[in-house]
Amino acid sequence: MKTILLTGAGGGVGTFMRAELKGRYKLRLSDRSPLAECGPDEEFVQADLTDMDATRKAVAGVDGIIHLGGYSVEADWDTIHTANFIGTYNLYEAARLEGAKRVIFASSNHAVGFHERTNTIDHTTAPRPDSRYGLSKAFGESLSSLYADKYGVESMCIRIGNVGTEPIDVRRMSIWLSPRDLAQLVCIGLDHPDIKYEIVYGMSDNARSWWDNSNATRLGYKPQDKSEDFAEQILATKTSDTGNLIGDLKQGGDFVTFEAVDDPFKPGLK
């Protein structure tokens, strides 16, 4: 059994992944805060990813890494810079120094959030971040590319939509990802023999999607869950998920409108 480091193991997605990946890998769980308990085939190594020595200790001896640890929504620059830029840099540098072969990077739909919902984008589409948070995910994707090309640290970046047991609103019907479908993508990322650097979209089988996930399909991904199964109940109560026109037009939803001005190109506006 491979030993896999799961950063951010105490978070929402980390908790889903522990359950989904049980029995498939030996999991080394890591977070900056202690976890309540470990199960069989699990161990815990506490590490703040901003601490390079602690990060190297967490990475030492693992075969692969699922990198979830960081700040998972929009925040001020210091918060995002520390957790997501420095933390992700340290994680990749530790992977290089400790010889970890493969990293799964939890990127986000917010790396491409300024694309219109009417545009179908794929893994070749350049980032259009909608926030400092989205920018940190675009940085992580570029960092992954650099560490693959220059140092042979292989990566799969998953532009995750929204992970949960069911989609929660209109926008999430396009980007929803069930925990078992995420686990399938993660296993492909960790075990596929030919991955050097790949971007895929983290979504289930969503009929209303604005993503072309053919790169995931090429790698063998067959999602098991469909957001359309929840459409009737969602559409019965909700039509707009952001409550504003711009947010409803853009893939990133209300992240696009945080701190936004009415017309960013108007002369004199800063």
> What residues have CB less than 8 Å from 32, skipping those under 6 apart?
46, 47, 48, 49, 69
CB of 81 to ligand NAD, least distance (A): 11
Q: Considering the rule CB under 6 A, would residue 111 count as an interface residue with ligand NAD?
A: no
Query: From the candidates 133, 147, 201, 221, which is the catalytic residue?
Result: 133
Pick the piece of the chain touching ligand NAD (CB under 6 A) from 68-76, 193-201, 225-233, 242-250.
Answer: 68-76
Within 13 Å of residue 4, how many CA atoms lie on the same side as its CB? 27
Q: Hey, what long-range contacts does 39-48 have (CB within 8 A, 24 or more apart)?
A: 41/1, 42/18, 44/9, 45/5, 47/7
Q: Which of 4, 5, 10, 204 binds ligand NAD (CB under 6 A)?
A: 10
CB of 115 to ligand NAD, least distance (A): 16
Identify residues 37-66 at the interface with ligand NAD (CB under 6 A).
48-50
Q: Which of 26, 32, 117, 192 binds ligand NAD (CB under 6 A)?
A: 32
Q: Is 201 among the catalytic positions?
A: no
Q: Considering the rule CB under 6 A, would residue 108 count as an interface residue with ligand NAD?
A: yes
**Nearest to ligand NAD of 51, 63 (CB atom):** 51
Return the number of other C-beta atoms located less than 10 Å from residue 247's C-beta: 21
Pick the piece of the chain touching ligand NAD (CB under 6 A) from 25-33, 92-100, 116-124, 243-251.
Answer: 25-33
Q: Which of 33, 124, 237, 239 binds ligand NAD (CB under 6 A)?
A: 33
Q: Considering the rule CB under 6 A, would residue 113 count as an interface residue with ligand NAD?
A: no
Residues forming the site for ligand NAD (CB under 6 A): 8, 10-14, 31-33, 48-50, 68-72, 83, 87, 106, 108, 160, 162-163
List the catalytic residues.
133
